[in-house]
Amino acid sequence: MHRIAALAVLMAMSPLAALSAGEGTAPEVFALRDPNVPETVRYAPVVRVGDMLYLSGVTGTPVARDADDEALTANFVSIFEEVGARLARAGATFDHVVTVETYRLDYLKTFPLFNEVKNRYIKAPYPTWTDVGVSELPPGAVAELVVMAWLGGVRREAE
């Protein structure tokens, strides 16, 4: 019974439920083409539904899987710069981000480097963060960053 109630609450909170209830407007797609993705791979880099922004994963400039720390750091910076550009195109900043998801190869090696770069862009009060080590990513990628942002305001500490 509790599972059904929880599912109903989640469904009621979903962007599609808000649209079907007549709230908001149709989803807006911000078509920024990622030069690192082949034309045959079709997806929306940013979709806005109401006050929510959903960004597809960003892998940054290509880098070798066995790259040195300097090259890895440069890749991580390129990832956050691309996410920042996508957010700006949709009228947001990193201060609007409410959820961060990261997927990285060689988790233990890349954590300190990635975390240091992330902390340049993501400031307190912090969004949620899920950080996952994976065995495969697209060719030329060692990390992928996915974010969701809320345009209704910036994050603030709970009272």
pLDDT in tens, 9-26: 444 444 444 444 445 577
Q: Per the domain annotation, does 11 fall within a domain? A: no
Q: Is 120 helix (H, G, I), strand (E, B) or coil?
A: helix
Q: Is 132 exposed, middle or buried (0-12, 13-18, 19+ CB in 10 A)?
A: exposed
Q: What is the CATH number of the domain that holds 125?
A: 3.30.1330.40
Q: Per the domain annotation, does 18 fall within a domain? A: no
Is 0.75 surpassed by the pTM of this model?
Answer: yes
Average pLDDT, the chain: 84
Place 123 in a pLDDT band, splitting at 50, 70 and 90.
very high
H helices within the chain, ranges in order? Answer: 2-13, 15-20, 69-89, 107-121
**Would you state the pLDDT for residue 150?**
95
Cα separation of 130 and 82, whole Å? 19
Q: Per the domain annotation, does 49 fall within a domain? A: yes
Q: Per the domain annotation, does 143 fall within a domain? A: yes
- Cis omega before residue 27 (within 30°)? no
Q: Per the domain annotation, does 155 fall within a domain? A: no
Q: Is 101 helix (H, G, I), strand (E, B) or coil?
A: strand
> pLDDT digit string (tens) for 76-102?
999 999 999 999 988 999 999 999 999
Q: Per the domain annotation, does 95 fall within a domain? A: yes
Q: Are strands 46-49 and 143-150 parallel, antiparallel or unpaired?
A: unpaired
Average pLDDT over residues 23-32: 66
Place 34 in a pLDDT band, splitting at 50, 70 and 90.
low
Q: Per the domain annotation, does 90 fall within a domain? A: yes
Q: Per the domain annotation, does 7 fall within a domain? A: no
Q: Which domain holds residue 132?
A: 25-150
Whether 8 has a pLDDT exceeding 50, the answer reads no
Number of domains the chain is built from = 1
